[in-house]
Amino acid sequence: MTLTTVLASDALAGLRRVRAERPEAIREALASRRRRDLMRGDGRLFIVAADHPARGALAVGDRPTAMADRDDLLQRLAIALSRPGVDGVLGTPDIIDDLALLGLLDDRIVVGSMNRGGLRGARFEMDDRFTAYDVPSMVGAGLDVAKTLLRLNLDDPGTAATLESTAHAVTAAAAAGLPIMLEPFMSRWVDDRVVNDLSTDAVILSVAIASGLGASSASTWLKLPVVEDMERVMAATTLPTLLLGGDSGSDPDQTFASWQDALALPGVRGLTVGRTLLYPPDGDVAGAVDTAARLVHPASSS
């Protein structure tokens, strides 16, 4: 199926021209964008995630470089952000700057990814130092939420530094009044690669560790995978939580059903999904996004 385009080709050409000739326009676009309250209406959030390329994760399904085409990715994001029920977008500075220059961030929640330094397959994969936004830069750019991955590998001494730097970021975010979303995983080395443990007990342990980081939890949110027995997972925290959509399985209907069940749990405030919706098997980005939006905001979709 051919992807429906929203952005004109001259808009994308203009984006490249402005980046080369007037880079200060990025700062101006971010400063002038129309902002909204984080929580409004039904108090739930639906965020489209696009921070994968900066950590070298370009594959979608059996397409190893699906996310490598920036024009195509921006078209998909433009479609998603045009749909009712989508509250915002999560990305690294390159993505957020592109979207700001294209005028796609008005009345949207902008979540800045602090990213991770440990690239998949690298010998230094567990060296998860921050490589993108920091708290001062997000406050200065007027972003609404910070996000960071938190992989916890009890067999790798590098995790100690990751815990310390994440705790400092949580403390700084709380002092600045900037919500910060932690995405924790218990991780381990398996055949020279890092694998996240998605068992219920492992997710609960990651929640307990992440929740206690920093001098204040006032601004801390969680971003958690949907796993078996999510009732036990959500019973482990009082922090507001967005569900991590993850990669779609072989049955999209089953994936959507698992999200729907988890969205009904106390403490769950919405959904953050990326590749599953931006690169659906049938190519219908709008249709996939609309289905997820109805799960997050059922009242406004009825």
Q: Mind listing the pLDDT tens digit for each residue in 32-43?
A: 999 999 999 999
Percent of the chain with pLDDT over 90: 80
CA–CA gap between residue 45 and residue 38 (Å, rounded): 8
Whole-Å CA distances, 59 to 56, 69, 81 = 9, 11, 22
Any idea which architecture 25-301 has in CATH? Alpha-Beta Barrel (3.20)
User: pLDDT-based confidence at 55, cuts 50/70/90?
Assistant: confident
User: pLDDT-based confidence at 1, cuts 50/70/90?
Assistant: very low
What was the pLDDT predicted at 126? 83
Residue (of 46, 90, 44) closest to 266 by Cα position: 44
Residue 62 or 290, more confident: 290
CA–CA gap between residue 158 and residue 162 (Å, rounded): 7
Contacts with 69 (C-beta within 8 Å, 6 or more apart), sequence order: none
Residue (of 123, 122, 118, 46) closest to 85 by Cα position: 46
| pLDDT beyond 90 at 2 | no
Token pair listed for 224: 């958690």
| pLDDT beyond 80 at 224 | yes
Exposed/middle/buried for residue 80 (C-beta within 10 Å: 0-12, 13-18, 19+): buried
- The full set of domain ranges for the chain reads 25-301
Mean pLDDT of 173-191: 96
What was the pLDDT predicted at 117? 85
Using DSSP's 3-state secondary structure scheme, residue 178 falls into: coil
H or E stretch covering 232: helix 230-234
How do residues 235-281 score in pLDDT, each as one tens digit?
Answer: 999 999 999 986 655 567 788 888 999 999 999 999 999 998 999 98
User: pLDDT-based confidence at 4, cuts 50/70/90?
Assistant: low
CA–CA gap between residue 294 and residue 130 (Å, rounded): 34
What was the pLDDT predicted at 247? 64
| pLDDT beyond 50 at 9 | yes
* pTM of the entire predicted model: 0.94
* Largest interatomic CA distance in the chain: 53
- Please list, residue by residue across 174-197, b when 16 or more beta carbons sit within 10 angstroms of its beta carbon and e when fewer do: beeebbbbbbbbbbbeeeeebebb
CA–CA gap between residue 89 and residue 112 (Å, rounded): 9
Contacts with 279 (C-beta within 8 Å, 6 or more apart), sequence order: 60, 61, 63, 66, 67, 76, 285
Q: Compute the mean pLDDT over every residue in the chain, rounded to the nearest whole number.
A: 93
